[in-house]
Chains A and B, each alone.
Chain A
Amino acid sequence: MRRLISKRNGMIGFFLVLLVLIAGIFAPYIAPYDPYDIDMDVALSPPTFAHPLGTDFFGRDVLSRLLVGARISLQVSVLARLIAVALGALLGLCAGYFGGRVDHIVMRLADVTLAYPGLLLLIAVMAAVGPSLTSLIIALGAVGWAGVARLVRAQVLSLKEREFVLAIRSIGGSPLNIMFRHLLPNCSSQLIVIFSMGLGMAVMAESSMSFLGLGAQPPLPSWGSMISSGLDYLRVAPWLSLAPGVAITLEVLGFNLLGDALRDVLDPKLSGSGGRL
């Protein structure tokens, strides 16, 4: 941890993420107004002391909506990455350990998943199952597993030839015991790194999908849908799109810097292979 913030980039990333975390966790307590409270008297008000980031078309406070939006953004990205990492780790573990046909099937599936542009695949999935945050989380997880699976498989392939694994085999350990007690824990630093490196991409994906109307549905204050609804008023009220845009930028930047720093600390070998959708 100390090594993590001893680097300048790591520290910036850490504080940006901390900022978003605080906003997301304490949003209901620190938000000055109810994010859903419509007050047509102050509609499209520019930033003032009463409304530091102005108000939208319905007179809802942008700052309050932004703070609550942080919670949605975090929820979706963290849950989606958890699903992706769990799924990818499990499949990669099986592919690497069993090899042969299992390996072939899993890795060709991963190739197929990786061959499509992530967003395109997401749009297709969301169009098929209908837009909602839950299905967005699941779809993001289902698209993101392939990169994790590849990484874990490679790691398992090298680990399973190590002598401590041979030792457990010669003692008579079952495959499940070897996989989950000996192989997986030795992938943990790689898993942490790829989890955090993918968070930024997940945030971007959530915002993009919400922007397109395929993610969070109104009146939920997702940053992506806030940008999209602000577009109509871009000339008269630029803060409507600008504020969530800046927020997304900072959050993604924070996650990426933190992810890079984590990678440098935990796993210097793993560079260049960032998280992919």
Chain B
Amino acid sequence: MSDHSREHERIQVVDPPHSSSDGTLLRVEGLKKYFSIRKGFFSRIVGHVKAVDGVSFEIRRGETLGLVGESGCGKTTLARVILRLIDATEGEVSFEEIPVFSLNNRELRKLRRRMQIIFQDPFGSLNPRLTVGSMISEAIKIHKLAKGGGIRDRVVELLDRVGIPAEHMNRYPHEFSGGQRQRIGIARALAVSPDLVIADEPVSALDVSIQAQIINLLKDLQNDLGLTYLFIAHDLGVVEYISDRVAVMYLGKIVEITDSGRLYSGAMHPYSEALLSAIPSLDPAKKSERIILQGDVPSPAQVPPGCPFHTRCPHAKPICQQEEPVLKEISRGHQVSCWLYET
């Protein structure tokens, strides 16, 4: 994988170029995260869980990239590695051409202001011992974005923006419902005026009716503030609504990435097809052929050789068991990694 570990120029975080030439905000290259499995008295490394295994993609400023895949395919790990909440095994992430992994602590803290995360679990993501107001103002104070009374004004503005009455500022998280907590989590992420927001399954823990509200809130915020989203979900319906492009992930790898519309009308990877066929149709007359995948997802500790999907693929060919396909551009902006489309 020498092509991934190429030299990067060190660019200062101070006054970064506001937009790079092609409008790319985040570029992920050959990202890998292996968790080692240790056993026995001397904690020997007996294997690796390949949570993220060679992922590359780009997100342009202002767009939303949806990331879908089954539970355990490495979506959350990918999000945390991008934010450097956990260290990557290999690969590079650049944010506006700034190599995130080679920043020192001080530079990293400055960059953190521009990349934020919204978590899945609205009950675990808020400190139970802090009031909503102090939680949000903390972010403002850390980055010295306001002073004195300005902090309070900003908190009020943020709460108002996400639809929480400002007089609830002095309440504790347990006094709010799941949907309200998620809004508070969003307000906290917005407190530092980020450019990129990684939403890690922000609605999967919520009721369906509240899901729609939160999704709409995220869309409004994007329009008003010009945010860029990496939107992680396992629900394709949600992703279709909010995303400009969608990446499908399977066992730590991206198997297909394309425009949202094109994926839903003409998915090419057999795994994407199977996922799409699982979306219930609103039209009872429309009988869609549902593709039921056989077997379980293989353990990420023992990824099958060749194409990781060949064990469950309805179109598997002999070559699929031996050689791993690479992500290739089939048509403009549409990349698939599958032997079916090799010529």
Contact = CB atoms under 8 A, between A and B. Distances in A.
A277 to B, nearest CB: 30
A173 B140 CA distance: 11
Interface stretch (B118-126, B163-171, B253-261): B118-126
A166 B119 contact: yes
A162 B173 CA distance: 15
Interface of B: 80, 83, 85, 108-110, 112-113, 115-117, 119-121, 124-130, 138-139, 142-143, 185, 188-189, 191-192
Nearest to A167: B125
Contacts of A186: 127-129
23 contacts: A164-B125, A164-B126, A166-B85, A166-B117, A168-B127, A168-B138, A170-B85, A170-B115, A170-B117, A171-B112, A171-B139, A171-B143, A172-B109, A172-B110, A172-B112, A173-B142, A174-B109, A174-B142, A181-B130, A181-B138, A182-B129, A185-B127, A186-B127
Nearest to B125: A163
Contacts of A163: 119-121, 124-125
A173 B110 CA distance: 11
A171 B116 contact: yes
B80 A166 contact: yes
B336 to A, nearest CB: 32
Contacts, number: 66
Contacts of A166: 80, 85, 117, 119, 125
A78 to B, nearest CB: 25
Contact of A164 (B85, B112, B115, B127): B127
A177 interface: yes
Contacts of B130: 181-182, 185
5 A-B pairs with the lowest CB-CB distances in the bound complex, closest first:
A172-B112, A163-B125, A172-B109, A185-B129, A163-B124
B185 A167 contact: yes
* Interface residues of chain A: helix, strand, loop or mixed (majority): helix
B112 A170 contact: yes
A162 B124 contact: yes
Interface in A170-193: 170-174, 177, 181-182, 185-186, 188
Contact of B127 (A169, A170, A172, A182): A182
B142 A177 contact: yes
Contacts of A181: 130, 138
